[in-house]
Structure 1
Amino acid sequence: MIAPKTILLDKGNLVITSDSPQFLEYCSLQHFTTKNIMQAQSLDQNSLVFSFSDCAAKKTFYLARLTAKKRCVFFPIHVFENTINNALYSLECFLKSDITQALMEQRKALELINCKSPLTLTGPSTQSTVNVLSSAVSYAMLDGDLQDNFVHSAAEFFEVHLAHMKPQTACPFTVNGEFRVSGILTVLRKAQSAPPDITNSLTTLIGEVASKQASLKVEGNKVTSFTVDNRDYADLIKRAAGKRGAHLTEFAIGVNQAIAPIIDFSINSQMNEGVSGVHVAVGDGTNGYHIDFLCPDVVVRKALT
């Protein structure tokens, strides 16, 4: 087994790359080597890229095609919470992650999902079931994905998931039950596709969920209620998700136990969705928001037969 933590996180060779001069200045003060992606001619072999704009994201993948030797982890800050605080928090979480352990846990989660048996999800105020279609294809990162040159999104290191991104196809999973939700994560790839009032309401909701009791109910893959401090936000969730409405588009198992002590659900960070436990989501992030409901401390088991 390879040791990605050693390969990727050697601070003597790690290069922090971004289009934000302020973020790069913070990183320089922490003694990281830094580079502005908009001025770069190639990707460094051992780099973390933080994009604060769509232009920077496009430049990253343009350079990836030109760079033969690259081991790059990509953080699309601009489609989550486009702030320096988010970038610094995401960097801290990634550096404190145990990637080798996460890959081992991904393999276990993949085997569990691929058994295609009904699954039970249990935890504090959580009791749910998940049925997986025999034709379902799970997405996970395995050791072989890190053997050669790569550019991977940070989230890929820390979750195994089933996605239903094409509404005309059958959903590969069916979820029923109730979840205690500790945080939500919102993703929007086209800022102009959501009205400002919805964006502002979701920003407020992120803080509410992080500080108060939240409960999600799902029936036949459809969100029927999402209550925070006894107020139901199901209608907001449905409107924010756009064309896909209240129907689930993702079921995932997180594997990043190492960041549990520092997790901050009030920050809309991509790193939060990988924390151990599960998350389910609505929306596709393009025709409206993709919204993850984050449920740490949930245990996934094969259902007893």
Structure 2
Amino acid sequence: MPVPREMNPPGNSPDPWGGLRQIFPEGEIFVVTDDAELGAHTAGLGLATALLGEVAELPDGASVVLLLRNSLVSRDIRRMFRRFGVLLVPIASFDPALDAARYTFDLVRHTDYERACEWNRYWARNIAGQPGPLVFTGHGTGLECAFGDDISADAWMNTRIDVGKWISVASYCEFSLTAPSTRDWRGTFDLNGTVVASGLLVAQDARAREPGAARVRRARRLRAEMVARGPMTLRLREGVLASVEAGGVDFTDALSEVTNPDYELHTLELGIGTNMSLLPRVDWTFNSQLNEGAGPVHLGFGEGITGAHMDFIVAECEHRFEGDGVVQQSHAQPV
């Protein structure tokens, strides 16, 4: 049966931490950031804020929301936070502009983490237990997802983050299935059909070197053009992107180049959004990681190292498991 909604959505709480209190219900929470401008913004919201260089002064066992605007995640940064429970928000991997950083943190505060975890558990149950393929339909999208034998997913199932844990915000907001290796494209899923996407993200991995980083820079320019011309229509056959167009322009070859043509436009990620309650607040023009979990499904190409990782996000559609006869709306509750 449906899960009841909270009467007061997290972001509208009198507590300025909003939904973050679901993750860190006890004690003081600290924002830690590598950027003074972003730190001034969070402090202005009434939130306890420290800069990266001040981490040693935080008390043992502190709850930390880590906003990296200027730095990609590294082992050295992770070592600095062993004494804490950490929610990571890797802003620099997507768009370090101040307006994008402020927008991202606003969505972080407005996320309903308890509900997102319920969705993650729903998808873990059903993908493992349903015999038929998963189908997304409606609003121009018609995509069939057949699963292979080698299924693994990245998702966080428990709302709280305890001391010693380092969890990315994406692990709450999407149920991400990825190819088991760059050589085994179809061991996890096979995709066929059409997708109409409203959002598009570009991400860079910390391990990227030239020419991968150069491809990421070109991908960001390509993203701006495609989103401006959107919505974007993708056609897939056996997990390979056959074409992508926006506003009557074919971007297939350009997408192949910036994500690394060696991958031949194989889909490397099937991402299922678990943070759809954000949809009224989402601005698809931003290259923000929080956008990808707000749509029911997104498809990722490239790995962010040798070329850009690019996610195409469907803003609205329904889903069903073939044969069960049950259709869930994009805004429905997990059952």
Aligned to 1:177: 193
Give the deviation of 1:50 after TM superposition: 1.2
- Separation in 2, partners of 1:216, 1:43: 47
95-104 or 293-302, which moves further after superposition?
Answer: 293-302
* Deviations, residues 70-91 of structure 1 (Å, cap 9, x unaligned): 2211111111111212221111
- Separation in 2, partners of 1:211, 1:163: 28
Give the deviation of 1:296 after TM superposition: 2.2
* Deviations, residues 55-80 of structure 1 (Å, cap 9, x unaligned): 66444301133x1xx22111111111
The alignment of Structure 1 onto Structure 2 pairs a total of residues equal to: 300
Aligned to 1:256: 275
Q: 1:9 to 1:284 in 2, by over 3 A?
A: same
Give the deviation of 1:237 after TM superposition: 1.0
SS at match of 2:151: coil
- Separation in 2, partners of 1:43, 1:249: 39
Aligned to 1:270: 289
- Separation in 1, partners of 2:223, 2:314: 16
- Note the 1:140-179 alignment, pairs <5 A: 140-143=155-158, 146=161, 149-164=164-179, 166-169=181-184, 170-179=186-195
* Deviations, residues 272-304 of structure 1 (Å, cap 9, x unaligned): 111140011111111111111101212221113
- 2:67 partner letter: F
- 2:113 partner letter: I
- Separation in 1, partners of 2:171, 2:50: 24
Aligned to 1:8: 23
Aligned to 2:331: none
- Note the 1:9-24 alignment, pairs <5 A: 13-24=28-39
SS at match of 1:226: strand
* Deviations, residues 224-282 of structure 1 (Å, cap 9, x unaligned): 11110010111111111113231110102101122111101111111111114001111
- Is 1:125 paired with 2:140? yes
- Is 1:48 paired with 2:48? no
SS at match of 1:28: helix
SS at match of 2:66: strand
Aligned to 2:7: none
Give the deviation of 1:171 after TM superposition: 3.0
- Is 1:284 paired with 2:303? yes
What fraction of aligned residue pairs are identical, expressed as a percent? 19
| Structure 1 unaligned blocks of 5 or more | none
- 2:139 partner letter: P
Aligned to 2:77: 60
- Could you tell me which of 44, 50, 54 is aligned with 1:35? 50
Aligned to 2:98: 84
The answer to whether the 8 Å contact 1:244/1:284 transfers is no
Aligned to 1:240: 258
* C-alpha RMSD of matched pairs (Å): 2.6
Give the deviation of 1:166 after TM superposition: 1.6
The answer to whether the 8 Å contact 1:72/1:151 transfers is yes
50-59 or 149-158, which moves further after superposition?
Answer: 50-59
The answer to whether the 8 Å contact 2:176/2:270 transfers is yes
The answer to whether the 8 Å contact 2:150/2:187 transfers is no
Q: 1:245 to 1:13 in 2, by over 3 A?
A: farther
- Separation in 1, partners of 2:194, 2:45: 43
- Separation in 2, partners of 1:97, 1:293: 21
- 2:272 partner letter: I
- 1:46 partner letter: S
Question: TM-score scaled to structure 1, two decimals?
Answer: 0.89
- Separation in 2, partners of 1:19, 1:272: 22
SS at match of 1:53: coil
201-210 or 180-189, which moves further after superposition?
Answer: 201-210
SS at match of 2:56: coil
SS at match of 1:81: coil
Q: 1:280 to 1:128 in 2, by over 3 A?
A: same
- Separation in 1, partners of 2:158, 2:279: 23
